[in-house]
Amino acid sequence: MRDSEFFEKFKIERKVFDRKTILAILKLMNKGYVKIVESLIKEGKESCVLSGKDKKDNWIALKVYRIEHCDFKNMWKYLVSDPRFYGVKKSRRSIVYTWCKREFKNLKIAFSAKVSCPEPIAFFENVLVMSFLGENGKPAPRLIDVSLDEKNALAVYESIMEEVKKLAKAKLIHSDLSAFNILLLEKPYLIDFSQAVPFSHPLAKEFLVRDLKNINSYFKKIGISVKSEEEIIKELI
């Protein structure tokens, strides 16, 4: 499918993209970050993730925040409590743009700290471009979609804890960590960093405990004996 047909299809039939979003993707194309948009990986309420290729034919993923569908009031609550974004304007568009920028910034911190996560490539307005996790355009499965045997499950659990530790060393807390936001390739990769906050956030500790509880309860259910959240936090800090 050609790009123009693709955009027309989603704009008209599914109302995924408004005109400004199409222009934002075209801008990223003109800058050379995106050569082609290939297909829709996931259409969510607030964002859509698309696969594509860059000018060197590497697979990329584009996360497009949907301006009209985002719960921008909720986003604003998160943003104003993040010391990095105190001054954000209260309009729908600027909140969504800042949300996208925040995901990019968070990914930068995580990727620089060698966390297994997508590499952030570029962002413009409500569109984030990152490296693609998967093979030949087929996205890696989410942890929630995979059934692990006991031996693998323990190794995956331990790897996830290593990733959380690396993130904590970089003073960042994912804040939306769960089996839905972990993709499994040869090892687990953390994704969906839009809610991640620095340690300086007033609710940082609460978010960290919530992340650890989510992961622990997932692995407990599949029979893995997990460390308590307190024990993990002691090791982290």
Ligand X SMILES: Nc1ncnc2c1ncn2[C@@H]1O[C@H](COP(=O)(O)OP(=O)(O)OP(=O)(O)O)[C@@H](O)[C@H]1O
Catalytic site includes residue 149: no
Which residues 6+ apart lie within 8 Å of 154 measured at CB?
A: 224
Instruction: State the nearest-atom distance from the C-beta of 128 to ligand X, in Å.
Output: 9
Which partner, ligand X, Mg ion, none, binds residue 167 by CB below 5 to 8 Å per kind? none
198 binds, among ligand X, Mg ion, none (CB under 5 to 8 A by kind): none
Least distance in angstroms from the C-beta of 135 to ligand X: 10
Give me the least distance between CB of 44 and ligand X, in Å please: 3
Closest CA to 194 of 178, 215, 219, 175: 175
Nearer to ligand X, 39 or 81 (CB): 39
Residue with tokens 């307190």: 230
Q: Interface with Mg ion by CB under 5 A: which residues?
A: 181, 192
| Residue 82 touches which member of ligand X, Mg ion, none, C-beta under 5-8 Å by kind | none
Q: Which is nearer to Mg ion, 54 or 192 (CB)?
A: 192
Cα–Cα distance, 108 to 231 (Å, whole number): 28
Which residues contact ligand X (rule: CB under 6 A)?
41-42, 44, 46-47, 49, 61, 63, 118, 130, 132-134, 139, 142, 181, 191-192, 194
For residues 172 and 170, give the distance between their C-alpha atoms in angstroms, rounded to a whole number.
6
CB atoms within 10 A of CB 149: 9
192 has catalytic annotation: yes
- Sequence-separated contacts (24+) of 32-41 with Cβ below 8 Å: 33/60, 33/121, 33/122, 33/129, 34/60, 34/62, 34/129, 36/3, 37/3, 37/6, 37/7, 37/62, 38/137, 39/137, 40/10, 40/16, 41/139
Looking at beta carbons only, is 181 or 216 nearer to Mg ion?
A: 181
Name the residue nearer to Mg ion (CB basis): 22 or 183. Answer: 183
Catalytic residue (one of 54, 82, 176, 211): 176
66 binds, among ligand X, Mg ion, none (CB under 5 to 8 A by kind): none
Residue ranges with strand state E in 125-171: 127-131, 134-135, 138-139
Residue 208 Cβ, how far from Mg ion at the closest point, in Å? 18
Active site residues: 176, 192
